[in-house]
Amino acid sequence: MAIVFQNVIDSLPKDIRYKIRPRAEQLNGEEDANTVRFFSASDWRTTSLVPFWPENGPREPLEDDGGEPGYHREGFLHIQRAVAFGIIHAANSSADLNDTEILIKRYPYPPYLDDSFVVVL
């Protein structure tokens, strides 16, 4: 995994821009022999905004951590936390982050009708 800082040269700017670049292939991807895939099993799926086969309702509703492509499982969120804490510490070296709680939460999804026929249309 790589971290690319876009606007940090010599000093810490007020607006820090960075990108986290994970490996092209996931290390901890879930394999399922019965699943037909239209993409690589290790793909981060950043080329489209919606799934190839759209579903009615939220994506992977039974997964607590959001499911595929596995930002939690692949360590992406841990790196994001470490970078954020590093930036906070660089801006304020006396900041106490020991009791800081980080939570993962799914993006809210509006109410929907769970009707399989709608997907067929």
3-state secondary structure 53-110: CCCCCCCCCCCCCCCCCCCCCCCHHHHHHHHHHHHHHHHCCCCCCCCCCCCCCCCCCC
Give the pLDDT score at 36.
47
- Partners of 105 in the β-ladder: none
In a domain, 38, yes or no: no
47-54: long-range contacts, CB 8 A cutoff, minimum separation 24 = 54/119
In a domain, 42, yes or no: no
In a domain, 9, yes or no: yes
Q: Is 18 helix (H, G, I), strand (E, B) or coil?
A: strand
Q: pLDDT tens string for the chain (121 positions)?
A: 889 998 877 888 888 999 988 877 667 665 555 554 444 555 666 677 776 776 777 877 788 777 777 777 888 888 999 999 999 999 999 999 998 888 777 777 888 877 777 666 6
pTM: 0.64
In a domain, 74, yes or no: yes
What the block records as the tokens of 43 is 């793909």
Number of Cβ atoms within 10 Å of the Cβ of 71? 19
Count structural domains, the chain.
1
In a domain, 104, yes or no: yes
In a domain, 47, yes or no: no
Give the pLDDT score at 23.
76
Give the pLDDT score at 94.
93
